[in-house]
Amino acid sequence: MKIRTFIATASLVASGSLVAFSGSAQAALYTTCVGDGGAVTVSNDLVVPAGKSCTLTGTKVKGTVTVEAGADLVAAGATFNGAVTVGENAYLDLTDTTVKGALTTNSAFGAHLEKSNLKAVDATEGFVYVVDSALGGSVRTEAGELYVSGSTLSSSLTGDGNQYSDVYDTTVKGALTVNGNTLGGVFCASEVYGAATYTGNADNLQLGGEGLLGSCAGASYFGGNLAVTDNTANAVLDNAIVRGGLTATGNDPVLVVGELTRIRGAVTGETAAAGVSASRSAKEAAPPDRGADLAEKPATRADAARADAHEAGKSRL
């Protein structure tokens, strides 16, 4: 019986598709993906091995998905029933894809999510670039780059210790927290229905309006209280409605509030009115939308991953 088990195991490893065991009577098998995978159903867990590239088109994975260190997974029209984990310097690119479990990245190169549906996202280091997507759980990023555009978040959004946290044309149904971002953040033509907090950020904060980080044509909406506190950033709040109160304490320089801002609740702390000349100078000095620069990272990595996967041939899923 042991000899038969050994022979069967050796055969599976040689095929490159099924590996791994457990000490229990029933082995916990998983499927590896190297190369191009098509519209098939993977009934167990899927792993992209370290340093390898995998593309999936129309693939359904019933188990979890793991992208190991330095690996790449590019998926379109896929469905993942379990959690997705992305390792150090690994890359995840999802288009028109559904992830029913949580997405976790740890020191990854980054994650590009476009026209996709996910639940919770927890990312440490690396970028998270979300476009035209729906996220049903909380989204938290730390020590990376966060850019969200044209999306809907059913729970909270947190950017903690990032380079920046930028939100465009997006609805956040929970709380919004931007804390300790070295390059500040943008909240443009967006809505947040929970409390919004910007604390301990540097460089520039643009909360609506024509401001320090470019033009924002649409109005922004803060459905609860807004706290802008203890920032060293140049901070501007304009073309926005704040249904709750505004707390603006400990900021140096003080928060600038534009004439198109409407605050329904009480204002606590110190604010300054926007000057015409200051606003004009800010717009002239404003850098381009950071999303355009960030988009180059996933585009370049995804192209290289597709090329590597194509060279590897069809994956045995």
Residues 6+ positions from 229 with CB-CB distance below 8 Å = 197, 198, 199, 247, 248, 249, 250, 251, 269
Residue range 41-60, pLDDT digits in tens? 999 999 999 999 999 999 99
What is the CB neighbour count within 10 angstroms for residue 173? Answer: 16
Q: Output the pLDDT for position 2.
A: 35
Q: Output the pLDDT for position 115.
A: 98
**pLDDT exceeds 60 at position 6:** no
Strands 18-19 and 30-32, by their bridges, are: antiparallel
**pLDDT exceeds 90 at position 279:** no
Integer angstrom CA distances of residue 267 from 162, 244, 271: 28, 9, 9
Q: Output the pLDDT for position 213.
A: 61
Residue 90: closest CA among 78, 72, 102: 72
Dist CA 241 CA 224 (whole Å): 10
Residue range 255-265, pLDDT digits in tens? 999 999 999 99
